[in-house]
A and B are shown apart, each in its own frame.
Chain A
Amino acid sequence: MSQEILRVNNVSRIYETSGGSFGRKNKVSALDGVSFNLVHGETLGIVGESGCGKSTLGRIISRLDTPTSGEIIYKGNDIAKKSLSAMRPLRKEIQFIFQDPYASLNPRRQIGAIIEEPMRIHGMGKDERRARAHELLEKVGLDKNSYEKYPHEFSGGQRQRVVIARALTLKPELIIADEPVSALDVSIQAQVLNLFKELQDEMKLTYIFVAHDLGVVRHISDRIAVMYLGKIVELGSVEEIYNNPQHPYTKALLSANPRIDQSAKSTRQILTGDIPSPLNRPSGCSFHTRCPIAVPECSTREPELRRIGAVDVACNLVV
């Protein structure tokens, strides 16, 4: 049953920015040698702090952006370097959901037209589109008469439902969601998270779910990739990552998460210093500037992501 849908191999993305200086370009390594695979029907959660490359990774897998190097094998074909037109048929299968439900809907179009747009692009008939739009509205828990409304008549949570409905129009298989609940209030966040789960069960969807909230990621994911400065530092099942984290960064991240239950407070560990800028990434293990257990070797030797016990970890000291 567990059939591989996606394999990401050593994917890197280097952005060149003009740092304000003449001619000379700054190189930002937003993703650096990321590899993982994805099995049909599972959810891979991606966590990490701002600027660690979560969105870049999402954009690259959905080919809204092109990797500088590496392979993205989707159902056996490398789509890493495919042209836009060659990607078109695949756009149906791979959908991307953005963070901001306010910015991602055209304010001047009715909800119905917004949901039908992808179907129109792919040449579906008018009646068929309309029927499907109504079906989807119901599926994401919106009223039938939402069809004629405009985005501004909806709250953030409802808009995110519209965005989800639009992503589902072409019966996708893989959905990449970039912080889809971050902009929502807690009570609404729970509704949308439940919707994601229901739809997955019903439509056998595969998710890549980007979030910075550790509770949210834990709730939705089967496996989790923890990222730091463009690299995956730990990858494993939810249980392993949350109950038995191996990488010092994963440990720190989990312990930094504010807890409602304060009984575990004594184990709290606070990282010192700021997240370094990807513009001048520290040498060796890029976490060594903040790592509580770093040894001198860490500033020169770059750890590889390797299997240790039940998880993949990139740390020189974890054996």
Chain B
Amino acid sequence: MTRFVIKRLAAAVFVLVSISILVFLIFFATPGVDPAARIAGRNADQLTLQQVRATFDLDKPLHIRYVSMMKHLFIDRDLTSYVNRGAEVLPQLTQAIPATLSLVFGAAIIWLLLGLILGITAAGMRKSWVDPAIGIIGIIGVSLPVYWLGEVVNLITQGRLHATLFRWVPPLGYVPFTESPGGWFLALLFPWLTLSLLYAGIYIRVIRSEIVSLMQEDFIKTERAKGAGEKRILIKHASRMSLITVVSLFGLDFGALVGGSALLTEVVFGIQGVGRLTFTALQNFDLPLIMATVMYAAFFIVIANAIVDLVYAWIDPRVRRG
């Protein structure tokens, strides 16, 4: 197992370095495009261009440019946005990361709990009205667009009812945990619920159908022949086995969300998160910021996948190989 962990982590580092090279090449070595002009932004004067060339070592060979870029990104952390008139890039990112992580982590806990509880219940009560009822909840969750749902939630909680029923809801925006844990929680509560509803819908359906098909497996027949009760078979065997699927799905979803896919939720609820940051960066063609956010997204997706693989090995003995 230890060897497995070490190997998996080494692979993750390898992938990260590869991605950084790839991203670098795309933005800084596209033939026929002057990266300096791009970084400096539209209508930049000669002076700025020269300054850009100097800081990014753009006159030097490719590999030195790469090293210089990485140095600015990770070691000196002084990558500056020219489009945005000299704002440093990394502080923006370090402010955005906790917001996005808080949003996605909280939502993930909610949707996993909902997905597991309702998915298992639906599969276990397939012959009663409960299953179709849960199925409808799932469909509703999947079919409500996050943006629309968020606006509706805001309309209710921030609108006229804000004065009465929803007085306790803070105004839109993110409150850092370190500032006020209570405020953090309240500010994120509705974003969490909104974001998790969509995923809960998906997970309920996936978990239910996974368990239903697992219940046809031979080992379930063996369990029945052993005299095990249906509830035990459902929980200890079918649900336990379904975790294998859940974990791999979760890894993908979590990685994507942390990497920026929570954009819509961030926008509706006014949270300055990574998704929003990336979006603004792309809009302004702010190359240093794009580079930083892409690297960040890759980093989290790769880390999430490495963790998933480790959890995977932990819950499925068949993949634990030396």
Contact = CB atoms under 8 A, between A and B. Distances in A.
Contacts, number: 8
A20 B322 CA distance: 8
Interface of A: 19-22
Contacts of A20: 321-322
Contacts of A19: 321
Nearest to A19: B321
A19 to B, nearest CB: 7
Nearest to A22: B7
A37 to B, nearest CB: 42
A162 B187 CA distance: 69
A21 B7 CA distance: 9
Nearest to B3: A21
B99 to A, nearest CB: 37
Interface residues of B, number: 4
Nearest to B4: A20
A19 B319 CA distance: 11
B31 to A, nearest CB: 34
Interface string B279-322: 00000000000000000000000000000000000000000011
Interface string B117-143: 000000000000000000000000000
Given A20-B321, A22-B11, 6 more contacts: A19-B321, A20-B322, A21-B7, A21-B321, A21-B322, A22-B7
Interface string B5-20: 0010001000000000
A21 B6 CA distance: 12
A280 to B, nearest CB: 14
Contacts of A21: 7, 321-322
Contacts of B7: 21-22
Interface string B153-165: 0000000000000
8 contacts: A19-B321, A20-B321, A20-B322, A21-B7, A21-B321, A21-B322, A22-B7, A22-B11
A21 B322 CA distance: 7
A161 to B, nearest CB: 31
A102 to B, nearest CB: 20
Contacts of A22: 7, 11
Nearest to A20: B321
B318 to A, nearest CB: 10
B163 to A, nearest CB: 62
Interface in B1-48: 7, 11
A22 B7 CA distance: 8
Contacts of B321: 19-21
A20 B321 CA distance: 7
B281 to A, nearest CB: 36
Q: Which 8 A-B pairs have the closest CB atoms?
A: A20-B321, A22-B7, A21-B322, A19-B321, A21-B321, A22-B11, A20-B322, A21-B7
A119 to B, nearest CB: 42
Nearest to B319: A20
B250 to A, nearest CB: 23
A219 B7 CA distance: 53
A22 B3 CA distance: 11
B220 to A, nearest CB: 25
A20 B320 CA distance: 9
A197 to B, nearest CB: 38
A21 B3 CA distance: 10
A20 B11 CA distance: 13
